[in-house]
Chain A
Amino acid sequence: MRSVAWLIPVFPLLAFFLIVFFGKRMPRKGHEIGILAIAASLVVALGVFFQQIAHSDQVYERSVTWFRFGDGGRFVELGMHIDGLAAVMFVVVCTVSLLVQIYSTEYMRDDVRYTWYYACLSLFTGSMLNLVIANNLIQMLIGWEGVGVASYLLIGHWFEERANSNAGLKAFITTRIGDVGFMFGIFVLFWAAGSFNIAHITSVVASGGVARGTLTWAAILLFCGAIGKSAQVPLQVWLPDAMAGPTPVSALIHAATMVVAGVYLVARMYGVFHASPAALNEVAIIGAITMVMAAGLALVQDDIKKVLAYSTISQLAYMVAALGVGAYTASVFHIWTHAWFKALLFLGAGSVAHAVHSFSMNDMGGLRKQMPTTFKTYVIGSLALAGIFPLAGFWSKDDIINGAYHSARAGSSVGWFVFLAALLTAFLTAAYVARMVALTFYGKPRYDPEHVHPHESPKAMTIPLVFLAFMAIFSGFLGLPGKLNLFAGWVRFGDVEHSFNLALDAFSTVLALSGLYLGWTIFKLHRVNIDLAKSPLAWFYKLLQRRYYFDDLYFNGIVHPVAGPIARAAYWTNQKILDAVINFAGTATVALGRFVYRDIDQQIIDGGVNGLAQGAGAAGNGLKFWQTGNVQIYAAGLFVGIAVFVGVFLIRG
């Protein structure tokens, strides 16, 4: 099965073209092509997955040469590199994408660009799968950029509203800033290791063929790409705005594609990062800062999707920080579990919004009775996110906390930093999860009962929810402690990590429960009645409301100061230089034309022509008197002429 793994990205990419060209003529407007393609990919992906876990020590790599360049026989390949990491990603991406597409048949029903939407979903999934399968950095970059383009298209899907198209642009441009770093990282690695092939680069690095400084720079540059794609501080600003897209797209972006691409990049290039402690520390610190900041932001959002968006940033930061402290398996395991429960939460939020026609939690409340399936699955997803035993999030999150603790105990101060940040985040996560569920499903209804009649969503929407809820419960059992940890055998970097610490897990669970209790107390039971805006913590509330002033900083500190003077300089150049040149050219041309008309054409050319004509006329007038009409005079002239000629010839001999 692994030999045909290349089919996995090919199916959706093919589907993209088929939908674009034939989708509108299909009976179901193209969604059958997308769903069929991704289902086929999923079948292949499962086959690859099971074959891979049966031979988990083998890496299966095949490639063909795409093109050659340069003198030294350098080349770029199209290839596949299949190991446990890639196999797990295949399953996650294909499954979530399939569920999202099924869900969208109902959610996007009657959308104006339904066919185009499915085409973009296929492109999105195909690009992500191409990124996952790639055995070299160029192919990976192509998938990476494809994901960026597709996300831009999908976030701006309803581009009729300015805010939506701006959100698409923001996502595209912000991630592009990181992509510049990624590209330079590729160049540095190519220059240092002489190849784009990831396995080759890794082996060169492992054999010490690359200087430490170069390696650190390469790793940090690559990580810039990951910061952009995975929305880590300081490039996290695009992700909340990306909520402008359709909700199933958000689920796809947050669970399986796009944002995990950054984490995947670091995991895939872990050989490079691992060899540079400085780079790893940077990764860990960025992750630790991001997870706390984003979790704080998630606490104060009113928009249910924004809560989930900040939650995603926070959870991605968990994965990033885990990679930073060397907990490779834990990080990938968190990708695996997070994909299920985050997709579940997004699709659940979409289901709720479908019912009340709003994403604001101020318009929800008390929905648990009207939407039982959505409610139950949503609670399961929320508890999994909060990391409550025995749901999926518990196992992966505690693996990460354990990993950080190990690193800290080994004497790393960065390890302590990550460890404390992870514990704080676990608490905050539980708090905002409790708030979210309380505001959405409990309390009094806050929607307008005159116009809004909440109802359970159709089957096409609830079946994916139920399946995802199943995964949110059971997917964590792949990472049970000790010998039962199957996942650690499949996906690992170096030795198998067995990091289970009962006391630590108990402590983090207590933290999570107290977070839940706090959130529940404040937002459901109203036992603690505080108006945050007037409390002593008001400054902090304001800080969160303003998103730590990051957006203000970027707009007022970068976009406006840069854009303003540039615009003014461009305007000045336009008015004073370009227009002056053009005006001068225009005036000069008019003057020249006038001169040519008046002096040259009228005077010289016309004068010449008229003069000739008048001259001819005058000559004719003068000569016409010679024409007497008397033939004898003409004959006399003839004879006189002949006589003259004869005389001349006679005299000259």
Chain B
Amino acid sequence: MPVAWVLILSSFLFSVGIYGVLARRNAVLVLMSIELMLNAANINFVVFNLLLHSISYIGQVFALFIITIAAAELGVGLAIVILIFRNRSTVSIDEVSLMKW
């Protein structure tokens, strides 16, 4: 399987993630889109490790770290979203644009 296919997949995933982050109004969906972008990066790490025949599996190890960090980040992110929801009964990003002059 050529590497290019895999890269095309990861690029597609990343782009979908960007779209989700920028365009979605629901905060939960924004967080999910961020996960898509992280996973696109994970695919790249793994496939380049295969491509370069690295025997130390650095790419895989990095992918594991990213998964861990992503879990932690999502935990914090969801907690924030829940708090916003409790206070304002909404999770729409447009309605929490309070941090301005």
Chain A positions near chain B (C-beta within 8 angstroms): 624, 627-632, 635-636, 639
Contacts and interface: CB of A to CB of B under 8 A. Distances in A.
B38 interface: no
B93 A628 contact: no
Interface of B is mostly: helix
Interface string B17-53: 0100111000000100000000000000000000000
Interface of A is mostly: helix
B93 A631 contact: yes
B101 interface: yes
B22 A632 contact: yes
Contact of A629 (B18, B21, B30, B98): B98
B82 to A, nearest CB: 17
B100 A635 contact: no
B96 to A, nearest CB: 8
A628 B94 CA distance: 10
B100 A629 contact: yes
Contacts of B98: 629
B22 A629 contact: no
A635 to B, nearest CB: 6
Given A631-B97, A632-B22, 19 more contacts: A624-B100, A624-B101, A627-B99, A627-B100, A627-B101, A628-B97, A628-B100, A629-B98, A629-B99, A629-B100, A630-B93, A630-B97, A631-B93, A632-B21, A632-B23, A632-B30, A635-B21, A635-B22, A639-B18
Given A631-B93, A632-B93, A639 B99 contact: no
Interface in B52-101: 93-94, 97-101
A643 B100 CA distance: 26
Interface of B: 18, 21-23, 30, 93-94, 97-101
B36 to A, nearest CB: 14
B37 to A, nearest CB: 10
Contacts of A636: 22
Contacts of A630: 93-94, 97
Contacts of A635: 21-22
Contacts of A628: 97, 100
A275 B23 CA distance: 131
Nearest to B24: A632
For the complex of A and B, the 8 pairs showing the least CB-CB separation, nearest first, are: A629-B97, A629-B100, A630-B97, A624-B101, A629-B99, A627-B100, A636-B22, A632-B22
A38 B19 CA distance: 121
Nearest to B101: A624
B78 to A, nearest CB: 16
A283 to B, nearest CB: 110
Contacts of B94: 630
23 contacts: A624-B100, A624-B101, A627-B99, A627-B101, A628-B97, A628-B100, A629-B97, A629-B98, A629-B99, A630-B93, A630-B94, A630-B97, A631-B93, A631-B97, A632-B21, A632-B22, A632-B30, A632-B93, A635-B21, A635-B22, A636-B22, A639-B18, A639-B22
Contacts of A639: 18, 22
Chain B CB count within 10 A is highest, among A624, A627, A629, A639, for A629
A636 B94 CA distance: 14
B83 to A, nearest CB: 16
Contacts of A632: 21-23, 30, 93
A583 B22 CA distance: 78
Contacts of B93: 630-632
A629 B100 CA distance: 5
A627 B97 CA distance: 10
A632 B31 CA distance: 12
B59 to A, nearest CB: 21
A624 B101 CA distance: 7
Nearest to B30: A632
Nearest to B97: A629
A648 B49 CA distance: 27
A148 to B, nearest CB: 92
A624 B100 CA distance: 8
A212 to B, nearest CB: 111
Contacts of A627: 99-101
Chain B CB count within 10 A is highest, among A624, A631, A636, for A631
A630 B100 CA distance: 9
Nearest to B27: A631
B31 to A, nearest CB: 12
Contacts of B22: 632, 635-636, 639
A394 B97 CA distance: 132
B24 to A, nearest CB: 8
Contacts of A631: 93, 97
A411 to B, nearest CB: 127
A433 to B, nearest CB: 117
A403 B1 CA distance: 154
Chain A CB count within 10 A is highest, among B23, B94, B97, for B97
A628 B98 CA distance: 8
Chain A CB count within 10 A is highest, among B21, B94, B101, for B101
